[in-house]
């Protein structure tokens, strides 16, 4: 069921992924459900038959009571009633299995589809979006909230459908015995609707708060575990424990409040009162000679089936409310607008390396914006009317004090961000007109904070080139001066790396990142202080390897190391987002006081 008209902007998209109605949580859930419309149909059909079979048992027990109450009753009549009861029980069991199978398949498929939709959507969001999110909260939504959708259907929706039919089907059977028996059941049905509606109204905000508090608690835990080294180094274990305990108490309080609402579940009292009234009403009808005693027995048995339906709604509606609250949290991520688009039909060519900035300005619009290398710049103008050109194969060093906008400038080249004003062009084509995948695949960035995955060293090096051969991986490692330390490990290139590469030193992580860049053979190479964590000897070796491969590629270098700056063809000096001057190291030292001040303490 495709329900969207115009696809939202996104950096990544799978063609086969269906679009769903994201206008509200209920419509989103319904559009997922209608992908498998036959499963809800089976659920309803089997539930009707199941409850009819279940109602047949007390109905025929009453008939059996009438049979044995008559003088001269025969065994054939009684055996027929017993056979109907036994057959109804078997039919109830078979349809129950079919009902449970259908709803479980539906729940698992919706969980799978919604998780895929969310994950693909997260991959397609811009960097500004991800920088404003707490990882723990996103993880809570992608795991627990998606799982709540599964539980919403199995057993939540299944129990609501089954319990609703467990009231409607027996009610029809009661009316079929004698319409006069319907007075109390209809009264109960009205009371049930009113009390359940009030129950859901009180429960909904608690369920939403509960899911939000769980996300906050999960974020707190993620921050503490991710930064455990900092926590221990600063002896902040007690502080982190107190913070987490506070979140846990708040989460517990929501459960207590939910329990308080469930404890005041008025439908069960309404059932108890109406059950007694039904017995009184039935006996009055029997005493008046309007019905048989067996009819009264049947009606009381059928009315007794309402008890399970009333009791189970206490839990089933809680699961549904939790599922709706989770759907709303998931949609908060999915529906967040991103301005960058993958531009599938955009320009695709091999990059030669010409980079142009034409009167470029950039602001972080998000109040919880991204950070530049020097710290938060949210809501501030990070770059202001910057203009320059880098020729193919040229090496440019970008220099400036902390917070000058150096890292942000490089992120406009591979379109991590789009400029607020002006144009960024690669090979005389605006980066907005490039196919995003084609552009980014030919631009490689090595930053100060190296991210490595929890897999083997070889897999980390080949992350951007899944088809790379073992020889190509080893060649890239040799060029990055990483081969020697890799071979020193017992398992060599098959050595597994801990999360984010914590088992490696800073210099080793940076050399693996450089090897990864070498392997992808980018046409534009961006080095953001990429040798900051290596010793002088290793740095010299890496720089020598870089010079060998940089002859035919454009290189943008962010560094404060004088040895690297001197080797650049040209230097761009930034100050508070503006380009102050450009030239060689010697030229700038002669004429630019701001440039001389940067290296006054070197």
Q: How does pLDDT run across 138-166, given as a tens digit for each residue?
A: 887 888 888 889 989 988 898 889 888 98
CA angle 454, 459, 461 (to 5 degrees): 105
Query: Can you tell me which residue has the tokens 């859930």?
Result: 29
Residue 163: strand pairing partners? none
CATH of the domain at 589: 3.40.50.300
Per-residue pLDDT band for 356 (boundaries 50, 70, 90) equals very high
- Distance spanning both ends of the chain, measured CA to CA: 64
Q: Is the pLDDT of residue 119 over 80?
A: yes
**Domain membership flag for residue 15:** no
Query: Can you tell me which residue has the tokens 């723990």?
Result: 136
Helices (H), 70-182: 75-123, 127-131, 135-140, 146-151, 158-177
Q: 133 and 84 in one domain? A: yes
How far apart, in whole angstroms, are the C-alpha atoms of residue 45 and residue 309? Answer: 18
Q: Is the pLDDT of residue 373 over 50?
A: no
Asked if 316 and 203 count as a contact pair (C-beta separation under 8 A), the reply is: no
User: For the whole model, what pTM was predicted?
Assistant: 0.68
How far apart, in whole angstroms, are the C-alpha atoms of residue 434 and residue 19? Answer: 25
CATH of the domain at 228: 1.20.1560.10
The bridge status of strand 443-446 relative to strand 524-528 is parallel
Q: How many domains does the chain have?
A: 3
Q: 552 and 509 in one domain? A: no
Asked if 174 and 185 count as a contact pair (C-beta separation under 8 A), the reply is: yes
Per-residue pLDDT band for 499 (boundaries 50, 70, 90) equals low
Confidence (pLDDT) at 144: 82
Residue 434: strand pairing partners? 347
- Domain end point (choices 334, 362, 385): 334
How far apart, in whole angstroms, are the C-alpha atoms of residue 162 and residue 159? Answer: 5
How far apart, in whole angstroms, are the C-alpha atoms of residue 259 and residue 110? Answer: 28
Per-residue pLDDT band for 549 (boundaries 50, 70, 90) equals low
Q: 423 and 312 in one domain? A: no
Q: 416 and 383 in one domain? A: yes
Is residue 430 within a helix (H) or strand (E), and if so which, with residue range?
strand 429-430
- Domain end point (choices 292, 307, 334): 334
Better-scored residue on pLDDT, 354 or 251: 354
Q: 356 lies in which domain range?
A: 351-442+524-602
Q: 302 and 371 in one domain? A: no
Task: For residue 90, give both structure tokens.
Answer: 């078997």
- Sign of the Cα pseudo-torsion (58, 60, 63, 65, in order): negative
Helices (H), 416-527: 436-441, 457-461, 470-479, 483-487, 506-520
Asked if 443 and 524 count as a contact pair (C-beta separation under 8 A), the reply is: yes
Of 569, 567, 570, 593, the closest CA to residue 580 belongs to 593
**How would you class 326 by CB atoms within 10 Å of its CB: exposed for 0-12, middle for 13-18, buried for 19 or more?**
buried
Q: 470 and 379 in one domain? A: no
Is residue 281 within a helix (H) or strand (E), and if so which, with residue range?
helix 266-287
The bridge status of strand 570-575 relative to strand 395-400 is parallel
Query: Mean of the pLDDT values across residues 266-283?
Result: 86
**How far from chain centre, in Å, is Cα 92?**
39
Helix (H, G, I), strand (E, B) or coil at 383: strand
Q: 312 and 358 in one domain? A: no
* Count of all residues that appear for the chain in the document: 602
- Domain end point (choices 286, 309, 334): 334
Q: 490 and 370 in one domain? A: no
- pLDDT-wise least confident of 294-298, 339-343, 491-495: 339-343
Q: 236 and 302 in one domain? A: yes
Of 556, 506, 55, 534, the closest CA to residue 303 belongs to 55
Share of residues in the chain with pLDDT > 70 (%): 88
In the predicted model, what is the mean pLDDT of the chain? 81
How far apart, in whole angstroms, are the C-alpha atoms of residue 473 and residue 457? Answer: 10
């Amino acid at each position: 069921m495709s329900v969207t008209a115009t696809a939202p902007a996104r950096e990544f998209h799978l063609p086969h992924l269906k679009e769903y109605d994201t206008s509200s949580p209920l419509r989103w859930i319904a559009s997922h459900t209608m992908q498998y419309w036959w499963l809800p149909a089976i659920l309803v059909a089997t539930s009707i038959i199941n409850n009819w079979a279940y109602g047949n048992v007390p109905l025929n027990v009453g008939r059996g009571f009438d049979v044995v109450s008559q003088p001269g009753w025969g065994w054939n009549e009684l055996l027929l009633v017993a056979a109907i009861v036994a057959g109804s029980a078997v039919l109830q069991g078979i349809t129950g299995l079919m009902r449970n199978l259908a709803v479980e398949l539906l729940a698992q498929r919706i969980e799978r589809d919604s998780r895929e939709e969310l994950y693909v959507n997260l991959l397609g969001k811009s960097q500004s979006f991800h920088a404003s999110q707490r990882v723990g909260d996103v993880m809570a939504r992608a795991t627990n909230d998606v799982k709540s959708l599964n539980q919403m259907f199995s057993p939540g929706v299944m129990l609501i459908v089954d319990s609703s039919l467990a009231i409607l089907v027996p009610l029809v059977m009661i009316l079929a015995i004698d319409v006069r028996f319907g007075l109390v059941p209809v009264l109960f049905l009205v009371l049930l609707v009113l009390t359940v509606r009030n129950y859901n109204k009180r429960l909904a905000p608690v369920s939403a708060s509960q899911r939000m508090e769980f996300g906050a608690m999960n974020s707190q835990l993620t921050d503490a575990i991710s930064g455990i080294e900092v926590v221990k180094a600063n002896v902040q274990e007690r502080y982190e424990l107190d913070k987490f305990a506070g979140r846990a108490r708040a989460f517990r309080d929501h459960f207590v409040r939910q329990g308080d609402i469930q404890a005041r579940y008025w439908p069960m009292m309404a059932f108890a009162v109406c059950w007694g009234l039904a017995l009184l009403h039935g006996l009055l009808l029997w005493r008046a000679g309007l019905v048989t005693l067996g009819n009264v027995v049947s009606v009381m048995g059928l009315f007794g089936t309402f008890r399970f339906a009333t009791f189970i709604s206490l839990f089933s509606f809680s699961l549904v409310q939790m599922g709706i609250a989770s759907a709303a949290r998931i949609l908060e991520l999915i529906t967040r607008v991103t301005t960058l688009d993958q531009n599938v039909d955009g320009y695709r060519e091999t990059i030669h390396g010409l980079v142009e900035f034409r009167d470029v300005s950039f602001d972080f619009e998000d109040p919880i914006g991204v950070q530049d290398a020097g710290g938060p710049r949210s809501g501030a103008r990070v770059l202001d009317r910057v203009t320059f050109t880098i020729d193919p194969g040229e090496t440019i060093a970008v220099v400036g004090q902390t917070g000058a906008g150096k890292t942000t400038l490089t992120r406009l080249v591979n379109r991590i961000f789009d400029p607020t004003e002006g144009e960024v062009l690669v090979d005389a084509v605006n980066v907005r007109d490039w196919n995003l995948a084609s552009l980014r695949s030919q631009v490689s960035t090595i930053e100060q904070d190296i991210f490595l995955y929890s897999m083997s060293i070889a897999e980390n090096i080949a992350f951007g080139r899944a088809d790379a051969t073992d020889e190509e991986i080893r060649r890239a490692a040799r060029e990055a001066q990483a081969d020697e330390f890799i071979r020193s490990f017992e398992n060599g290139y098959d050595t597994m790396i801990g999360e984010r590469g914590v088992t490696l030193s800073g210099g080793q992580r940076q050399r693996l990142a450089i090897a990864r860049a070498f392997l992808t053979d980018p046409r534009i190479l961006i080095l953001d202080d990429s040798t900051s964590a290596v010793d002088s000897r290793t740095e010299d070796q890496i720089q020598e390897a870089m010079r060998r491969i940089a002859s035919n590629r454009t290189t943008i270098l962010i560094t404060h190391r004088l040895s690297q700056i001197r080797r650049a063809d040209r230097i761009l000096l930034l100050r508070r987002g503006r380009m102050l001057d450009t030239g060689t190291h010697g030229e700038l030292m002669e004429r630019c006081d701001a440039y001389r001040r940067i290296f006054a303490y070197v």
